[in-house]
Structure 1
Amino acid sequence: MLSFMGKSPKLCDQLSRREWLRLGGLSAFGLSSGALCSAQASEKRALGKTTGSFGKAKRCIVLFMLGGPPQLETWDPKPAAPKEVRGEFGTTATATPGYHVGELMPLTAKLTERIAVLRAMATDDNAHSSSGYWMLTGRHHSPKGQENALPGAPNNWPSLPAVVRHLKGDRTSLPGAIRLPEEIWNTGRIVWPGQDAGWLGDHADPWLVTCDPNKPDFHVPDIGLPVEISPERFAQRNALRGFMNEHFRSLASTPVQRWSNWQHKAVELLGSPGTQAAFALDQEPETLRDRYGRNRFGQSVLLARRLVEQGVSLVQVNWTRGEDDDNVAPAWDTHAKNAQRLQNALMPPMDQAYSALLEDLEDRGLLEDTLVVWMGEFGRSPKINGQGGRDHWGHCFSVALAGGGVRGGTIHGQSDRQGGYPLDGRVEPQDLAATVFHCLGIEPETMIHDPFGRPLAITTGKPVDAIL
């Protein structure tokens, strides 16, 4: 008779090997190890052994600051450091007693009781593309420190929005995940990896809406009929499409089925009044549009709020380079004239749009179940360089979360005197991913299957309990 002596080693979620053997027969009935782990976690929640924040967020908005926002002028100022470290700006007292942010964040400073700040985020990767891949997917890029990395294997892990869309599906005619106003790219229009569904498949791709919502004639051409096609003509075409699909259904091939699915989604987008309404920014009061800021980022953030109201599970708003940005210091990549860029082009519109979003969500009763994530691919170097700028810095930077299960007024982690390295509370991207999934009601241990059918956990990280 088979027996084990001594203590039985613990496996997933503290199940012993003996318990696994006892339960092993369950796999014959379709209960996988991943499902068993999720079931155990669900049981723990039911018993009240985990935080009540699980699944509190029904939706998520990610604000991604391309280039790497500086931690010292935002969430982690160092007023006692030498000037070449602390920079030219002072600090602002916040609504959280004893906590100060950079002086260029006066509107956000009033809202910190709704915000949790991670001040010891780290990738130890100083390349936009590879550090960004890790932040966007929760998976290491191979190799680390690779600039101008391209999408594709072996760095083909699905992005967080793609995983959310795959697991939650499309709840309305709109896709379950959307990116706007454009994708993230390096100089030369080199698109970063980690922004799409990767090996998970096209069905999970976050829809990319390339647009400028601040333009007077803003519209999304993909969701409207051309002027030369009347509704009656569209109905006739749709009927013909259905007839052809039925005729070829016997082929039962994957490409044909995929084509049919895409057609169905396209027709939904064209025919749904809710879809049209979601993008109708002109329905917003002029005063509210002004509050968000009359610029591409501000109006994109307002559009994100409208999209999550229409049932989109996750919207990612990318702050990309502006029309007047040069290649020396585009977007938040302030290698030169850091102070001037922050004061004139970056901090005021960011502070305005971010604070407007939090207040707007709260006024609508949505902040409690909407997770808002403020992040970039890394931070900036503690010491100001010869061009008056700050360089790439993945060793320690800040991320902020608000709403949807996050405990506001929480400051987690501490950096050293120069804001260069974590002293405690280090958080890596897989932990951030796990926190986002947790707040959205998705177990971090949830399994998805790669093209070879192998089950893989959506993240290897753990939720940051201190802010939940």
Structure 2
Amino acid sequence: MRPIARRQFLKVGALGTGLTLANYLRIHATETPASKKRSAIFIFLEGAPSHQDTFDLKPHAPLEVRGEFQSITTNATGVKICEHLPLLAKRADKFAVIRGITHNVADHGLAKKYLLTGNKASQTISYPEYGSIVSHEYPSEAELPTYVSIDESFVGPGYLGSRYSPLTADKPKHGVPYSVRGVSLEDGLTVEKYKSQKKLLDDLDVAFRGFEDLDDQVRGMDRFSQAAYNIIISPRTRAAFDLSKEKPEESERFGKHEFGQSLLLAARLIEAGVHFVTVRLRPAEFDFDTHSDNFPRLRTLLPPLDRGLAALLDRLKERSLLSSTAIMAAGEFGRTPKINKDGGRDHWARAMCALVAGGDVQGGKVVGETDRTAAEPVSAGFSPDDLAASFFANIGIPPDTEFPSNIGRPITLVRDGSPIRGLF
């Protein structure tokens, strides 16, 4: 089945009905479900948070390295984290910290591609992001999207093709009615109006007339249009995206900031049956690229991170979903050991860390180690490839799985990585 041209997507998407989800469903159809399914949430901390000021503090390093923050004990023996993460400190038994992750890509764009795919960027291969792999392996029920990205996706489906792109959801804001492309109707139209007048399918029949012969992917459009209609009128799907259904105290528990509300939405989507959610807030809203004023900025950024992640862990645990949901939070690299003249830390790819939880992850432990200034891993360390291999192994997808590609040969899911020992 050959890819549909972009101009055809644009033409189909410009129907004026607000039902762009029909396209989404049409290109996401798969024939056979995977036998084992574990959901996942990837929280991408864009901009690259300082590892030595969050989960890998060095209290005995020189002042120009250790900075202003103190480490605090947690409820896990021997695990210490930053004083500005007190809620996570009380829940350290629910997650593991991986220290000593290392690579050599200190450019934001290339490093993001590396961390979001688990493979170093290539000129010949466009690697898919985590969620697209899960979308390929674990299709959701017809009335649910398989993969949702909050906010926009950065990498995309790569060699898997556009059928494995995410459904993109806007950043939720506390107290503001939430909408997502394809689930909400535009121009003031309501589900009730379309249901009562049966106008929706009539509009689609007219709009799609003549598209049947464009491509194999477009054949059967009527079936996917009906599925889109079913999603939009589905109480289950609409409820999953409706944060107003949460009690005020639950919304408050996650935090009224965009990060907290995004994690609350992610939890609701997992509960509804979505298999993969990426939470990616762009730097304008949640920027860890602290070249200057590192410590004042982290004093603002860490409390929402602390509150949101703690609430997510609690909620999934309370609803017996933590064992079936893998969680990973990481940025694209670490920050320089030595504080610069502007009170900031610059790009540093030779050491970083990640927080992982859920599934088979053993909580309450630290895996890996960096040297006395958090500049290098002790021994070989771990690569982003190893991190990806661990993540996929945790959700039941073998890292050495081969996938068909658009370059004429199968491609191994994680080319150079192996699951990290001691994590599971």
TM-score between both structures, scaled by the size of structure 2:
0.85
Equivalent position of 2:198 in the other structure: 235
Equivalent position of 2:409 in the other structure: 454
State the 1:363 CA deviation.
Answer: 1.2
1:248, 1:141 → 2: CA distance?
36
Equivalent position of 1:147 in the other structure: none
Equivalent position of 1:438 in the other structure: 393
Q: 2:292 aligns with which of 312, 336, 339?
A: 336
2:147, 2:307 → 1: CA distance?
25
Residues 125 and 159, structure 2, Cα contact 8 Å, conserved in 1: no
Asked whether 1:279 is paired with 2:241, we answer yes
Q: 2:144 aligns with which of 146, 156, 174?
A: 174
1:136, 1:290 → 2: CA distance?
30
Q: 1:422 aligns with which of 372, 377, 382?
A: 377
Residues 172 and 312, structure 1, Cα contact 8 Å, conserved in 2: no
SS at match of 2:308: helix
Equivalent position of 2:73 in the other structure: 93
Instruction: Say which is worse superposed, 218-227 or 451-460, in terms of deviation.
Output: 218-227
For residues 262 and 205 of structure 1, do their structure 2 counterparts lie closer, same or farther at Cα, with a shift above 3 Å needed? farther
SS at match of 1:421: coil
Equivalent position of 2:282 in the other structure: 320
Residues 134 and 276, structure 2, Cα contact 8 Å, conserved in 1: yes
Equivalent position of 1:162 in the other structure: 132
Residues 369 and 403, structure 1, Cα contact 8 Å, conserved in 2: yes
Equivalent position of 1:116 in the other structure: 96
Residues 412 and 425, structure 1, Cα contact 8 Å, conserved in 2: no
For residues 259 and 69 of structure 1, do their structure 2 counterparts lie closer, same or farther at Cα, with a shift above 3 Å needed? farther
SS at match of 1:411: strand
Equivalent position of 1:288 in the other structure: 250
1:222, 1:367 → 2: CA distance?
29
State the 1:81 CA deviation.
Answer: 0.2
Superposition pairs of residues 193-272 of structure 1, within 5 angstroms: 195-220=155-180, 222-226=182-186, 227-228=188-189, 230-232=193-195, 235-238=198-201, 241=204, 251=213, 253-257=215-219, 263-264=225-226, 266-272=228-234
AA aligned to 1:139 is: N
Instruction: Say which is worse superposed, 154-163 or 74-83, in terms of deviation.
Output: 154-163
| RMSD between superposed Cα atoms in Å | 2.4
Asked whether 1:400 is paired with 2:400, we answer no
For residues 111 and 425 of structure 1, do their structure 2 counterparts lie closer, same or farther at Cα, with a shift above 3 Å needed? farther
Residues 43 and 330, structure 2, Cα contact 8 Å, conserved in 1: yes
Asked whether 1:373 is paired with 2:307, we answer no
Asked whether 1:307 is paired with 2:269, we answer yes
State the 1:255 CA deviation.
Answer: 4.8
Q: What residue ranges of structure 2 are gaps of 5+ in the alignment?
A: 1-34
State the 1:364 CA deviation.
Answer: 1.3
Equivalent position of 1:51 in the other structure: none
Q: Which digits, 9 at most, give the CA deviation of each residue in 1:122-152, with x for residues without a partner?
A: 122111111111110111124xxxxxxxxxx
Q: Which has the larger radius of gyration?
A: 1
2:67, 2:210 → 1: CA distance?
68
Instruction: Say which is worse superposed, 332-341 or 437-446, in terms of deviation.
Output: 437-446
Residues 179 and 209, structure 1, Cα contact 8 Å, conserved in 2: yes
1:178, 1:452 → 2: CA distance?
27
1:317, 1:443 → 2: CA distance?
24
State the 1:211 CA deviation.
Answer: 3.0
In percent, how many aligned pairs have the same letter? 33
Q: What residue ranges of structure 1 are gaps of 5+ in the alignment?
A: 1-53, 143-152, 184-191, 324-329
SS at match of 2:100: strand
For residues 258 and 413 of structure 1, do their structure 2 counterparts lie closer, same or farther at Cα, with a shift above 3 Å needed? farther
AA aligned to 2:348 is: W
State the 1:396 CA deviation.
Answer: 0.7
2:168, 2:43 → 1: CA distance?
15
State the 1:258 CA deviation.
Answer: 7.9
State the 1:170 CA deviation.
Answer: 2.6
2:385, 2:197 → 1: CA distance?
46
Superposition pairs of residues 36-55 of structure 1, within 5 angstroms: none
